Each structure stands twice: as C-alpha cells, then as structure tokens.
Structure 1
Amino acid sequence: MDTQLSLNVHMPVHVSNGGLFISRGVGTHPRRVIDSFELIYVKRGILAIEESGRRFEVGEEETLLLWPGREHGGCAPFPPDLQFFWVHFAVPAAPRQGDATLLQVPQHAYVSRPEHMTGLFRRLLNEQALLGERAVPMNLMAMQMLWEVTSSRAVGGVLDSESAVLAGRAEALIRTSFHLPITASSLAAQLECNPDYLGRVFRKHYQCTLTEAIHTRRVRHATNLLTDGKLSIDDIALQCGFDDPGYFRRVFKRATGTSPRAYRSLHLRLHINTD
C-alpha cells in the first residue's frame, strides 16, 4: 500500500535569486543586459528606469517586468526613500498550445493586492535564506507573483465606465485616508452615493468589499512599521487607524496568518542590497 504521493512537478518558471533594494539616495540602476526576466515591485518611492529606449516611472505598489536580452538601466538617480523587491527568473520553454493556461502578464501594472505581493516577496526571500536558490517553493511563489500581476490593472489602463470611476474614487480615498476612522458608510457619504451601490461597484472592480480594502491598506502599512522595528505594536495599531489594539491583532492575524509580533520577528531576515 502506497504511503506517499509522488508528483512530477513541472515548473514554468525557475527562480535564480531575489532581494530587497533599499536606497541610500545615491547612484542609479546599473545599465546592463541580463539573460533572465526580472520582476520589480516598488514598495516605496519611484524607480525611473528604461528598457530598450522605453522609459518607465514605477511608483509605489507598481510592478515592472524586464525582459532578457534587452538593455535596461536607470535614467535618474535613486531617490532616498526608494525601496523595491526584485526577483530574477527564467522561463525554460513555452507551454504547448492547449497544454496549459497562459498568463497574460502586463509589463507595467498597478498591484491590486499590495500586501499580498509584499508577503510573497518576503516569504521568497526567507525561503532563499533557508533553502538556497532554485528551490521549488521559490518557483511556486514566483508563479503566484506573476498571477498577482496578471490579475492587476496595467498602468495606463482606462477606467471606461461610471461605476469604475466611482470605485476608483473610493479606492483613492481609502489609499489616502486609511489611517483615519473611515468606514464604508462614511466613504459613501463623501462620494454622495448610496452605500449599497458603492459596495457593489467596488467589489465588481476590486474583488473585495470596502471594509476589506480598508483593512488591507491598514495591514499593509502595519507590515512596513513592524519591519522598521521602531514603534510598539499598540502604537502601530493607532497609526494604522485602529483604536482597539486587540481588534488590530485579530485583523492582522486573519490577513497574514500570523500575529504582529511573530511577523516582526519573521521578516527581519531579508536579502537586502543598497547598491
């Protein structure tokens, strides 16, 4: 009787390495041609970079996919607040037609779930530190990253309906006011619309409720403050818009699968480069 399942795992991507770049406010991205894809995810600041003569300004919560064999390099000095994750990977062979689901990955995209993308990169770097390069978990996480980009909106994409514009205005309010005592009802009042209607159109365009989006933004900010390591967890809760630290801990654990204290301990071990 068999006691274990054996799988022949075919990986559509092979990760070579990854890291977190933290700017010192000097230098530019090196100009080079590499033999692998590079996925960049900007956590803070703006990265000015060009590929084969096409210029990109990659802002916070945006990704950029650079192609192998194409020259790329920085076109402006690194700003002092710039932080971005990066991962290099190869695509061994194109899948046979009808043999697999093809992902259409935009080159430059707004990430729909930034806290999820940040978590994927942090877990990849932890796996790299523990297991070395080209481990199966890293390849799986890179695929999840590409899926996240596929599910996101390309930079320059047009919001082509009134409901999409309304949902975008709500998202912008959440992005800039998450640290305040906002709710789904208060957002609807600010936008002068029916709360139920706003909830429906927001879910249609962002695949989550308004409350989930508020919590997502607050948890994402909390992860940044936790890894900085300067504030107490109760102070972080207040800065992220939670007036009840106990409720913050419950929301944080539901979103990340771990407590704020455990998250802080886990994510201090990273592959960080500054030049």
Structure 2
Amino acid sequence: MEEILYYKMGSSCLPVIKYTNKVHVEPPHVHIRRQLEEYVLYFLLSGDMYLKEGKRDYHLEAGDMLILDPRLEHRGTKAAACTYFYIHFYQEQLEECHTTTDTIKNEALARRFASLQTDECTIRNMPSDPLLLPKHLHISKPGILLHMTELLEQITASHYNKLEYFRLQTGCLFMEFLLAASRELTDSFLLEGDSTFTARSTKIIYDIMTFFQSSYAGDITGCLIEQKYGCNYDYINRLFKKATGKTMLAYLNELRISKARQLLSDGTSRISDVAEKCGFRDIYYFSRVFKKYTGTTPGAFTRNSF
C-alpha cells in the first residue's frame, strides 16, 4: 500500500520566520549541499528545481511546494532555471510522519466533516488538533495558486519592512499559507479521480454538507437532494449518518438553529424574520425545533441574550 510523507504541526504557536525571499536562478547554478538548523519551504513559480534530501529525490515544477527537514542534509542534483520563494522558519511543534495514503486521507476527511458540523455559538477555545501538512504538494487550481503566491508576497514584504510586530504579522500570514496547503491536501483527497464506491459516496456527502452550509435558508427537500445528486434519498441518508453520526435533516436543522441563534443574539430581527432567513416557513415549527435543540424558546433566548 502506498505511503505518504507529511507533517503534523501544533496549532498553539506560530512559526517564526528567519529568512524569506523570491529569487530567480539560471544554470550553472546548483543548490549547495547543506544541513540547516531550521526548516525550509520552497514554492516554485516557474521552471524546475532538482533536490535530494537524505535518500529522497525531488523534481519540483511550477506550483510545487516542498518542506525540507533540518534533520536531513539536502543538495541540488541538477542545474535548471527557476523562480521560487523560500522561507526558512522555526516551529517547535512540527513532526515528520509517514503512513499509508488511506490513513492520512481518512484523518483529513474526518477533520473536514467535523469542522463542517461546528456550531459557531458553542466556540470557546482554539482547536487543539495539529495541522496536517503535506511535505510535497502540487497546487493546480489557478485561484488557490494566486492566493498562496499573494500570501508569500505579503510575508516577504512584511518581513523586510521591519515595522513593529513584523514577526507576529509574518507568523500569522505564514500560518494562513500553511492552512491553505493543509486544506489543499484534504481537497486533493476529495477530488482525486478514484471511482470506488467509498470515494464517490464521500464526495457526495461532502458536497451535500457544503450545499447545506450555503443554501440552508432555501427550501431543501428530499426530492431536491435526489435530483441534485442523482441518488436515492434514503440510501444517501444512511451513508450521511454513518459518516457524520446524524441524519441529513438533523444536520440541516442544527445548522439552521445555529444561524438563528446568531441572528437572535443581535436583537435587531423579529423572530418571524429570523425563522424565514433560516429556512423555516412556519414560525410555530421553527419554535418547536428551536426549543428541541436549545432547550428554550426563541423569545426566551432573545430576552436572555441581553
């Protein structure tokens, strides 16, 4: 079974950037042999880069990202023209791991599904789960490639302007970059060309969850789900419950009630308007569902919010 190299990075502290820049090299330049005390991230904008880290060889092309480990020596293996960003950084909570592709795929997808079930009204603390970072990743989507390139430009500009708190700002921007890389890793599992039953059903469940997130205010019915995703409602509902622990209706109602609680908390909307904005056409049904999930009525919740 295929194995994959990746990092687990603690989310409780920001990475600290030592050096960063965008450079262009031409042959006969070849990367020198060295072993550093910090991690190095390369992100290729154009051309080719040939590297060896320990016993592993890498050929990087435009859109490729690679993290090099301070525990291993690395060197160039072939001269080639390329333009790239580099970031030398420290991060105490970064651990290189290797496991089967299926194992990291299941972990990444479980985190995506769990995140999509977050109730904003119950958030109190930062998440404690480490980020899952690919050691080597290719970014092919133009929009994501542009976003990550812009972040690297901002990181470089912030690092060299040396204004107060610049290290904090570069750390935050770099964390955003790494979060984007982590999400791309998960997306690659969702969008991979795997035609197996598990892969197809996982993709449908994810699509339904994101559809609910964007369209919860609409009239969502079992017939609509069947038409939109080309599958029997009862069948996909069983798969949905197996993956998330709840039925599609329960997930949708929890989402709608969470949105309703947010709207009621600001005290500017009538209960009937909140019900409609959250997908409930019957205010009495909205009140019953609201009480089921919160233990109180919408009116009492509003009064207790102030």
Give the number of the structure whose alpha-carbon radius of gyration is greater: 2
More strand by share: 2
| The structure with more helix, counted as a fraction of residues | 2
- TM-score calculated relative to the size of structure 1: 0.50
Q: TM-score, normalised by structure 2?
A: 0.45
